[in-house]
């Protein structure tokens, strides 16, 4: 058996940029495919990577900002036609992610929303999102089966909210699932007012891969990532943002959302991971900062291997010589 990581997209922030797709990754465990975040271009990148849509088993959303979930409708709906076997529809694609927050996040005097969209449910969670996708595309799901043989739409997808334990219970980690081959564990991370936001750890017989999601430096993430083979961690260059127009409260908010390039190496060191792979770059433009520059600066203070991720990057576990 092998476990393979594929970076499908490595851009941070919602604004589309040329030359880098939005944040998304796949973990292929003995031909079962798990997708972590579903940003801009994820379905196309999935195809470009040679992955099989029939093998897509589950999607894990770190949080519900659009740059992490915006192409979920396409990932579910485009390959719908192939989601059937000899015995009928394949098992539904499971979409795991944050639940609705207990309270709707509010801003402060400088940053606040004006119109509240959909006030009757202003902060929907993952199952709400999946239901909304099905409702919004009901035309396609109800009408296309009249002109083409399609699998039962009722078997296409299941949304599953991840409920976090109360911190008083002693551990911040929650077991998402464990089927004896793949074990997925999550913790809440700190991403400004995007609450809840999650990081995920995948353990297989081949090794372990952790996805930070978007977070500031977070002790629970460091605990989750202990001894992992690979930590895929988002990275921001706040100094670059400051030199390109961010200042004052705007820069402070960015620092409350992200891990800076000067901090991520010590996160990897404290976690004791083997390889740090950078992703979700901010700035996202590939020519803003070179891969060598990202890796050199991010690797400060980390004794393992640091790699600047790029769309299409692959890693196979178990590691050679492990
Ligand atoms: Zn993001």
pLDDT in tens, 183-221: 999 999 999 999 999 999 999 999 999 999 999 999 999
Kindly give the distance from the C-alpha atom of residue 88 to the centroid of ligand 1, in angstroms, as a whole number.
Answer: 37
Rounded to the nearest angstrom, the distance between the alpha carbon of 206 and the centre of ligand 1 is 28
Whether 9 shows a pLDDT value over 60: the answer reads: yes
| pTM > 0.95 | yes
Give the C-alpha separation, 225 to 211, whole Å.
Answer: 9
| Model confidence at 30: pLDDT above 70 | yes
- At 144 the pLDDT is 97
**Ligand 1 centroid – CA 211 distance (Å):** 12
Residue 4 pairs in a beta bridge with 28, 316
The residues with which 290 forms a beta bridge, in sequence order, are none
**Closest of 292, 287, 318, 313 to residue 49, by C-alpha:** 313
Q: C-alpha dihedral over 33, 190, 119, 58, to 10 degrees?
A: 10
Cα of 138 from ligand 1 centre, angstroms? 28
């Amino acid at each position: 058996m092998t476990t393979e990581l594929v970076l499908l997209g490595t851009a941070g922030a919602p604004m589309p940029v040329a030359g880098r797709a939005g944040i998304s990754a796949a973990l292929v465990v003995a031909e079962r495919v798990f997708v972590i975040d579903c940003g801009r271009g994820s379905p196309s990148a999935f195809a470009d990577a040679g992955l099989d849509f029939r093998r897509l088993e589950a999607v894990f959303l770190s949080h519900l900002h659009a740059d992490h979930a915006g192409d979920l409708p396409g990932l579910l709906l485009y390959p719908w036609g192939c989601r059937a076997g000899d015995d009928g529809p394949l098992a539904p694609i499971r979409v795991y992610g944050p639940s609705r927050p207990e309270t709707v996040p509010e801003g402060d005097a400088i940053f606040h929303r004006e119109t509240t969209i959909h006030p009757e449910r202003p902060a929907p969670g993952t199952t709400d999102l999946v239901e909304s996708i099905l409702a919004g595309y009901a035309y396609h799901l109800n009408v296309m089966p009249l002109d083409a043989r399609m699998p039962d739409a009722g078997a296409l997808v299941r949304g599953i909210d991840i409920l976090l334990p109360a911190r008083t219970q002693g551990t911040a980690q929650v077991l998402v699932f464990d089927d004896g081959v793949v074990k997925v564990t999550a913790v809440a991370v700190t991403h400004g007012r995007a609450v809840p936001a999650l990081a995920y750890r995948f353990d297989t017989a081949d090794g372990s891969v952790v996805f930070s999601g978007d977070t500031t430096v977070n002790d629970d993430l460091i605990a989750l990532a202990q001894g992992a083979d690979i930590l895929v961690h988002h990275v921001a260059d706040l100094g670059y943002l400051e030199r390109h127009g961010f200042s004052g409260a705007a820069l402070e908010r960015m620092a409350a959302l992200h891990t800076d390039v000067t901090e991520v190496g010590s996160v990897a060191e404290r976690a004791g991971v083997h390889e740090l792979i950078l992703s979700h770059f901010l700035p996202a433009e590939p020519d803003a900062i070179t891969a060598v520059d990202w890796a050199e600066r991010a690797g400060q203070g980390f004794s393992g291997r640091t790699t600047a991720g790029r769309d299409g990057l692959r890693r196979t576990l178990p590691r050679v010589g492990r």
